[in-house]
Amino acid sequence: MTFSEAPLRPMDPAPATRLGAGQTALHDLPAHTAIVAVEGDLRVEFSDHTLAWLGDSAPVMSHRIDEGCRYVLPQRGVVSIRATPTAGVMFIVQAPAASGGLPRFVSRAAQMLAARFGARFRRRTDTRPRHTV
């Protein structure tokens, strides 16, 4: 549930969606997806995923996104994006950053090197003669 006015990442050429006054769009979105209000104010509504066991009586979370701001979804689920009854809106659904980038690669490489050198180090110490007094 984060509001921010951070600029879009230039590598995400997400197409903008336009809604007329009073129209609604439903999207099934993964967690950490950003919804950016490009033109006009819009309302985002979704049910709390952790309360799904309540069925239809689960409370609906509702957030207003002003023009030029974005809202990052805290969890996955079906999201209702509504235009105000008096004006249309244009918004962008920005997918979350892909995982497994360079930091994960570097971390995994470091783990593999540590495992390999650790195994060699243990073998060397195991083959050395032990000094007994």
- What's 54's domain CATH number? 2.60.120.10
* Residue 56: DSSP 8-state: G
- Asked if the structure places residue 45 within a domain, the reply is yes
Q: How many structural domains does the chain have?
A: 2
- Asked if the structure places residue 133 within a domain, the reply is no
Task: Specify the pLDDT at position 103.
Answer: 61
Task: Specify the pLDDT at position 45.
Answer: 92
Contacts (Cβ under 8 Å, ≥6 apart) of 94: 8, 9, 12, 14, 33, 34, 35, 36, 70
Residues of the chain with pLDDT under 50: 1-12, 100
The CA distance from 124 to 120, in Å, is 6
Same domain, 79 and 22: yes
- Asked if the structure places residue 108 within a domain, the reply is yes
Same domain, 22 and 81: yes
Same domain, 66 and 107: no
Task: Specify the pLDDT at position 78.
Answer: 87
Task: Specify the pLDDT at position 59.
Answer: 85
| Sole residue written with tokens 């104010």 | 41
- Asked if the structure places residue 102 within a domain, the reply is yes
Whole-structure pTM value = 0.61
The CA distance from 121 to 123, in Å, is 5
Task: Specify the pLDDT at position 10.
Answer: 46
* Residue 5: DSSP 8-state: -
Residue 77: which domain range? Answer: 2-94
- Asked if the structure places residue 36 within a domain, the reply is yes
Same domain, 84 and 40: yes
Same domain, 77 and 55: yes
Stated as kind and residue range, the H or E segment containing 112 is helix 102-127
- Asked if the structure places residue 122 within a domain, the reply is yes
Task: Specify the pLDDT at position 4.
Answer: 45
